[in-house]
Amino acid sequence: MHYFDVLIIGSGLAGQSAALRLADHCKVALVAKTSLEESASARAQGGIAAVLDIQDSVEAHIKDTLIAGAYLNDPKATRFVIENSRQAIEWLIERGVPFTRDDAGYHLTREGGHSARRVIHVADATGMAVQEILTRQVRAHPNISVLEHHIGIDLITGNKLGLADNRCYGAYFLDDVKHQVITIGAANTLIATGGAGKVYLYTTNPDTATGDGIAMAWRAGCRVANMEFIQFHPTCLYHPQAKNFLISEAVRGEGGLLLLADGSRFMPKHDARAELAPRDIVARAIDYEMKKRGLDCVYLDISHKGADFVREHFPNIHARCLEFGIDITKDPIPVVPAAHYTCGGIVCDLNGRTDLPGLYVSGEASCTGLHGANRLASNSLLECLVFSKAAASDILASPPVKRPQLPKWDESRVTDADEEVVISHNWDELRRFMWGYVGIVRTNKRLKRAQHRIRLLMREIDEFYAKFRVSHDLIELRNLVVAADLIVRCAIKRHESRGLHFSLDYSEMAKKACNTVLAGRRLPRI
């Protein structure tokens, strides 16, 4: 068994920034599902929203966030994050992040839903630049033990240990290299595992986004909220050889136009803000036009801005599209919506504390209240930075925890799997019916169908899990079906259309904005 002061599950911006804030004061284990460099944060192109311009204001940023979130946002959480936005950026600058500059200082861009230029960035690959800087520093820190290629199975709680004090004492992980389960104990644990985009057939997320942390916390008894709000990025590159490559919001922010195959625009008839409308509106408009006209995709055109402008502002998108024979300085980009961001997650307070003592959460796995019914563009990395700092501060101020004896993983009643095809088949089935029944536009009938299918899959997966040794694919599937169940249950409970949840059966928005909260407990067996 390994024991640390703090266990961090997840290696994106939320996990790495928390590790660096903690490591000067305690021993930290940072567990990465694959390599330390691979995360959803690394794929973030646009940038980080922050109030940095004297012509901008905290109140304006708050207003934009509330409007995008359809006023389901928690006002205190929203103000907390935005008031700390400048400090978060200053911390990254101190760490050496080379944000793009212009003659006036740092270059700020404007994205959909923002009333001002406030998105600081590193060209069009902000996440990658930030991740590279922090990863080097994490690897170099003597107090951070990095465990790569380890996937979380379950949290270790006082209840499971038969203790009166039900808190989190660590977690079990499968070492994908040695193919054995290890136990990691910790006084405090931070979940920073990201979202559940892989529950859908089409997603911009990396293959690691299977809702692991959300499912683990749910099984441990934590509340989960607002899982129905899945953000579909409006513009994912549509090409048979392209996988999970999104075209940044900033392309539209800098003047990109959405077009049909005949070259005509369609966004102005859907929203007065046209291409600068929030993501939920743009994604729904694209989905509507594609279904109405039987289209495979629509097009995003930035070529009218000139070749030099395009290459300067979007060098990585330009280079990536060229790999597929698309020169965006001359040609429009074929795009489709794809699952992009999980706005709901594990309920936490302003210190990142969950319902389970000793368990914290930061980033996409959380439901802090910042995003409401729809995340405003470039608020996600900001949330990671602010809440990881808050969680780290709270952890450092917490009293010592008595270390219990943690049992090893028990494999005495299981054998090697004899039908691995069951896992791959269930995985494929789940992602397909979630895309078809629980996508951008929903109905009661579709949701009920999805729920029925999910319950059948859960029974199969639980039986498989009880009989056979865990594998990487089985762990992910077990977590993914929990995430799918939470999404559908939340969606069924919401009898209105708000933000990212659009129902043909409840097309109007209710006067009162209410969160959908599911009480933490073991999911029912059939």
**What secondary structure, in 3-state letters, does 31-87 show?**
ECCCCCCCCCHHHCCCCEECCCCCCCCHHHHHHHHHHHCCCCCCHHHHHHHHHCHHH
**Amino acid identity at 390:** A
> Nearest CA to 156 among 143, 178, 171?
171
C-alpha distances in angstroms, 371 versus 50, 110, 468? 15, 18, 39
Q: Which residue has the tokens 């390994």?
A: 2
d(CA 276, CA 111): 7
Sheet harboring 298-301: ordered strands across? 230-237, 333-342, 298-301, 257-259
Q: Is 293 a catalytic residue?
A: no
Q: Are 360 and 391 in contact (CB under 8 A)?
A: yes
Catalytic residue among 279, 431, 453, 478: 279
Cα angle at 13 between 515 and 201, to 5 degrees? 60
Give the SS3 label for residue 127. helix
Give the residues across from 190 on adjacent strands. Answer: 8, 360
d(CA 385, CA 488): 29
Catalytic annotation, residues? 279
